[in-house]
Amino acid sequence: MRILVTGGGGFIGQEIIKLLVKTGQHDVIAVDQSLTALENIQAKQGEQAKNIEIIEGNISQKDVLTQAFAGGVDAVIHLAVVPGGAAEENPELAWSINIEATRMLIDMAAQSGSNPRFIFASTIAVFGNEKPSLIDDNTPLSPYMFYGAHKSMMEQWLALQSRRGLVNGLSMRLPGIVARPKLASGMKSAFMSNVFHALMANEAFVCPVSAETTMWFMSVQSVAKNFCHALELDTNALPESRTLTLPALRLNMDMLVSGLYSLLDIKEKLVTYVADAELERGFGGYPVLVTKTADELGFKNDGDIETLIRNVLGSLSK
């Protein structure tokens, strides 16, 4: 397959591209604003680098997307985004990327005439802050942040274009993916990753949510495998909405921290909890998650907390 990956230089994009080219069966067009990140991807792939075409640019620029589609594509994996915190700080930029550029990307894929598969990285932020006691395939959306609202809107647009037979779309709602690089990511949920970085360095960490706060976790390795699985999926089995919430491990911070203490052999209590009420309301208190459709279609989480932590520590050690 010839696969276009937007945000290809990012945390998740790099992991997906690594898996795609490893098979030797795919050519990847990787688009990102960071040429350095794209060149790093090529450098890490050795002989498989010949299967990666890199395009530096912003997906809001039509000429960038025209170049990306020039050789035709069989599938699109759309990851590029202005995320939660950054979207709140700069709503105009967020709208231009999350709505206008995403719609242009979907429409250009539709206009290609090849009915390409289109995998859209959506988010659990579509469920909003006031969550019910259980979330399943039938839970209504109620986004509170711009980011979640933008994602829910583009889920609808992708489903519409899929119903019209112009693209073969799937929106996958991602849980908290760990561990992101220890850099400014614009993610308000960055603390979920930063705790890994701190404890690996044997450093103290102030957690901005309480120890009992529950969240949904998945390692970057598992989310990349799920994207690759989505490329091969029989989409006739998808719901009318063309959306799935990915299965995730539901853990509270104390469980995660205790697991890290154990696997890293840390004796001293390095984590203290100073809860930020607004942050905890938005990124904590995630209820029981039931993902019947995704489970039946073969999507998977990390299995258990130890495997999750080992996966994350392994990715950070490379």
Residue 293 CB neighbour total at 10 angstroms? 17
Alpha carbons 291 and 250: distance in angstroms, whole number: 12
Which residues is 78 bridged to in the sheet? 6, 120
CB 199 within 8 A of CB 85: no
Predicted TM-score (pTM) of the model is 0.95
Alpha carbons 138 and 290: distance in angstroms, whole number: 10
Structural domains in the chain?
A: 2-176+217-245 (3.40.50.720), 178-216+249-287+303-317 (3.90.25)
Please give the DSSP secondary-structure letter assigned to residue 178. Answer: E
Q: Determine phi and psi for 32, rounding to 5 degrees.
A: -160, 155
CB 271 within 8 A of CB 195: yes
Nearby residues of 164 by Cβ (< 8 Å), 6 or more positions away: 110
CB 196 within 8 A of CB 261: no
CB 175 within 8 A of CB 124: yes
Q: What is the pLDDT along the chain (318 residues), one digit of tens a residue?
A: 999 999 999 999 999 999 999 988 999 999 999 988 888 888 888 888 889 999 999 999 999 999 999 999 999 999 999 999 899 999 999 999 999 999 999 999 999 888 999 999 999 999 999 899 999 999 999 999 999 999 999 999 999 999 999 999 999 999 999 998 886 555 667 899 999 999 999 999 999 999 999 999 999 999 999 999 999 999 999 999 999 999 999 999 999 999 999 999 999 999 999 999 888 888 788 999 999 999 999 999 999 999 999 999 999 987
Q: Determine phi and psi for 165, rounding to 5 degrees.
A: 80, 20
Nearby residues of 108 by Cβ (< 8 Å), 6 or more positions away: 65, 66, 69
Given 3-state DSSP classes, what are the helix, strand and coil percentages for the chain, each rounded to the nearest 5? 45, 20, 35
Alpha carbons 79 and 83: distance in angstroms, whole number: 11
